[in-house]
Amino acid sequence: MDFRVRAATKEDCKDISRMIMELAVYEKMPDQVEISHKELERDGFCQNPFFECLVAEVPEDATRTERFTVVGYALYFYTYSTWRGRAVYLEDLYVMPAFRGKGIGKGLLCKVAEVGRKKECVRLQLSVLDWNTPSRDFYAAKGAQDLTASEGWHFIRFDGQNLDKLANEAPKD
Amino acid sequence: MDFRVRAATKEDCKDISRMIMELAVYEKMPDQVEISHKELERDGFCQNPFFECLVAEVPEDATRTERFTVVGYALYFYTYSTWRGRAVYLEDLYVMPAFRGKGIGKGLLCKVAEVGRKKECVRLQLSVLDWNTPSRDFYAAKGAQDLTASEGWHFIRFDGQNLDKLANEAPKD
């Protein structure tokens, strides 16, 4: 199938927002989604954006609905390893079910790797759910390491009241 | 003990670099450290920095060696959740052994939370090694969730030749 990958624009945020929800449904956590295209527009297309995004699109006549030509996205940002330096983190990689198995997901992943390489990133990182075997296999087949399995890294999070409490207890300047 | 937390400057990078190595030794992976103060200066103190850093310092007469007044650091950057929006990620939190148990680590953590809150971040995230019980207990006591344990998130990484291979296979523009 013909497809192309390009940098997302502000005008893509409604499509991206729709696909973020589709991905959350797949990950069985749709109630976790609390942001809309407005926050994406504000946070991704400002002077110091919090993320960058690529979209995959197909020619209109190949889509089922003819309403959407954007059929996938990869949202990422830059992180930093104090051991190795610059890295790129792939927050979301998604291709609509009807368009899977055609190399679009791999195309998005490879493009993020290329973008990261241009910024001298030495790592591309991401996270997957343990039951998500298709995704784990997809990444493993391309040479990814599972650091939770091999080195024992765990994700830790503060949010809500626990985060407020920390912030309120910060030492005064 | 009197201590203060302040934003790191370029001049702190040698101290930070020394403590990065101390932390890696504690984490039993000293051979993983490949960057020096030069990369920290370049990547943290440029126009669009890849990270921000706080340092904790104590008055000179309270230090053992009198050579260092900087005794701890917290290195962090901003990330993005497509479900919740802006987040801050604490890459490293370290206090030199002789200065532990005096609230300095908590002071650094709380300050990162405060800085994140000012940027409208709704999460503070980090990762710990499964055998690192002191750190896991430290964060859990302050209300952190272990998402690897509760939701099953695994860390995945591409680097070296595997990352090069991906980048080389990116679709052409």
At B172, the pLDDT band (50, 70, 90 cuts) reads: confident
Q: Are B71 and B65 in contact (CB under 8 A)?
A: no
Q: Which H or E run includes B7?
A: strand B4-7
Q: How far apart are CA B173 and CA B161, in angstroms?
A: 23
* Residue count of chain B: 173
pLDDT at B60: 76
pLDDT digits (tens, 9 = 90+) for B128-144: 999 999 999 999 999 99
Of B85, B128, B173, the CB nearest to A43: B85
pLDDT digits (tens, 9 = 90+) for B87-120: 999 999 999 999 999 999 999 999 999 999 999 9
Mean pLDDT over all residues of chain A? 93
Q: CB neighbours (10 Å) of residue A54?
A: 21
pLDDT at A69: 87
pLDDT over threshold 90, residue A27: no
pLDDT over threshold 60, residue A65: no
pLDDT over threshold 90, residue B173: no
pLDDT at B1: 61
**A166 and B110: CB-CB below 8 Å?**
yes
pLDDT over threshold 60, residue A63: no
Structure tokens given for A36: 């809309």
pLDDT at B12: 97
Residues in B closer than 8 angstroms to A130, CB to CB, are: 152-154
pLDDT at B59: 86
HEC secondary structure over B31-83: HHCCCCHHHHHHHHCCCCCCCEEEEEECCHHHCCCCCCCEEEEEEEEEEEECC
Structure tokens given for A121: 């990133």
Q: What pairs with residue B7 in β-bridges?
A: B54
ipTM of the prediction: 0.91
SS3 call for A26? helix
pLDDT at A68: 52
- Separation of CA A27 from chain center: 13
Query: How do strand B85-95 and strand B123-129 relate by DSSP bridges?
Result: parallel
Indicate if B139 belongs to the active site.
yes
Q: Which CATH number does the domain A4-168 belong to among 3.40.50.360, 2.40.128.640, 3.40.630.30, 3.80.30.20?
A: 3.40.630.30
pLDDT at A62: 53
Find the radius of gyration of the CA atoms of chain B: 18
The percent of residues in chain A predicted with pLDDT above 70, rounded, is 95
Distance from B68 to chain A by nearest Cα, in Å? 20
Which of A166, A168, A172 to mutate to test binding with chain B, by most B CBs within 10 Å of its CB? A166
Structure tokens given for B107: 């002071």
pLDDT digits (tens, 9 = 90+) for A86-129: 999 999 999 999 999 999 999 999 999 999 999 999 999 999 99
pLDDT at B111: 96
pLDDT at B122: 96
At B65, the pLDDT band (50, 70, 90 cuts) reads: low
Q: Which residue of A has its CA nearest to B37?
A: A82
